[in-house]
Amino acid sequence: SASTMAEGGINAALCNVDRDDSWEKHFEDTIRGGAYLNDQDLVEVLVKEVIDRVYELEEWGAVFSRLDNGLIAQRAFGKQSRRRTCYASDRTGHEIVTTLLEVALDLGIEMLEYHYASKILVSSDRVGGAVIWNVRGWEPIVVKAKAIVLAAGGASQIYEITTTPAEATGDGMVLALDAGAVLKDMEMVQFHPTGLAWPEAARGQLVTEAVRAEGGILLNALGERFMSKYAPDEMELAGRDVVARAIWREVVEGRGTEHGGVYLDITHIPCERVRERLESTYRFLLQLGVDMCRDRIEVIPTAHYFMGGVRIDVNAATDVKGLYAAGEVASGVHGANRLGGNSLADALVFGRRAGASAASYARSVGYASIDTNAVRLEIERVENLFRWREGYSISYTNIRKRLRETMWRYVALVRRGEGLSKALSEIEYIKHELLPRLAVNDGRHFSLAALRTLECINTVRVAEVVVRSALIRTESRGAHYREDYPHTQSEWLKHILFKLDRGALIHFFEPVKITRINPPR
Q: Which residues are catalytic?
A: 240
The residues near 246 (Cβ < 8 Å, ≥ 6 apart) are 193, 218, 226, 227, 229, 230, 231, 238
* Interatomic CA distance for residues 281 and 213, integer angstroms: 13
Backbone angles phi, psi at 211, to 5 degrees: -65, -40
Coil/strand/helix, residue 446: coil
Give the phi and the psi of residue 168 in degrees, each rounded to 5: -80, 70
Bridge partners of residue 131, in order along the sequence: 119, 142
Residues 6+ away with beta carbon under 8 Å from 396:
438, 449, 452, 453, 455, 456
Residues 6+ apart with CB under 8 A from 23: 13, 47, 48, 51
Give the whole-angstrom CA distance, residue 159 versus residue 138.
28
Give whole-number Cα distances, 269 to 86, 125, 214, 277, in Å: 21, 57, 8, 11
Please report how the helices 342-364 and 92-106 are oriented relative to each other, as an axis angle in degrees rounded to 10.
Answer: 20
DSSP-based three-state secondary structure for 170:
coil
Measured distance CA(453)–CA(385) in Å, rounded? 8
